[in-house]
Amino acid sequence: MTVKYTEDHEWVSVEGDTATVGITSYAAEQLGDVVFVELPDVGASFEKGDDMAVVESVKAASDVYAPVSGDVIEANTKLSDAPETVNEAPDSEGWFAKIKLSNPSELDSLMDDAAYKAFCADL
């Protein structure tokens, strides 16, 4: 299992041709208390960089971009009733969607764990 990161603070965990997507603990911390998540519909298709979901804190709404291209095969409906899961466990239980990859080579352009840590350290 490989985990990759985007500069928009999303993580992508890949198993076979399926990517699980969420936001990083850095992003969750910056947002503050998450009070609502608008999830993508199952079956929706996204190109890398499209608006895929919306995460709302008390203060504001923020877009979550598709870190890779593909079709949504599952959305984490637990977040509808318990959006605070995004703060409590952003990199596990707080995942947003599972995407069937349409272009796995896109993963090569994302950061690995060490590169993402260095990226955050410079912010």
Partner 1 sequence: MSDHPPLAQTPLHDVHVRLGAKMVGFAGYDMPIQFEGVMAEHKWTREHCGLFDVSHMGPCLLTLPGGPREDEDAHIEIAKLIETLVPGDIQGLEPGQARLTVLLNENGGILDDLIITRPYEGDQQGRLYIVVNGATKGDDWALMNEKLGDLADLERLDNRILVALQGPDAEAVVSESFPEAAYLGFMESRRMVCKDLTCIVSRCGYTGEDGFEILVPASGVGHIVELLGDERVKPIGLGARDSLRLEAGLCLYGHDLDPQKTPVEASLTWLISKNRRAAADFPGATKILDQIANGAPIRRVGIQPMDRAPAREGTEIYAGDKKIGEITSGGFGPTVEGPVAMGYVDREFAKTGTELTLMVRGKPRAAKVAKLPFVPHNYKR
Handedness of CA 21, 52, 38, 58 (dihedral sign): positive
CB 122 to partner 1: min, Å: 19
Q: Of the two residues 68 and 79, which places its CB atom closer to partner 1 in the complex?
A: 79
Please give the single-letter amino acid code of residue 40.
Answer: P
Which C-beta is closer to partner 1: that of 16 or that of 43? Answer: 43
Q: How far is CA 62 from the centre of its chain?
A: 12
Closer residue to partner 1 in complex, CB, 60/123: 60
- Which amino acid is it at 109? S
Least separation in angstroms between CB 94 and partner 1: 16
**Residues of the shown chain interacting with partner 1 in the complex, contacts defined by CB under 8 A:** 32-33, 35-36, 38, 54, 56-61, 80, 83
What is the helix, strand, coil percentage profile of the chain, to 5? 25, 40, 35
Rounded CA-CA distance 34/91 in Å is 14
Work out how close the CB of 57 gets to partner 1 at its nearest, in angstroms, rounded to a whole number.
7
Residue 32 Cβ vs partner 1, minimum distance, rounded to whole Å: 5
- Which is closer to partner 1, CB of 26 or CB of 104? 26
Find, among 38, 24, 21, the residue nearest to 100 by Cα.
Answer: 21
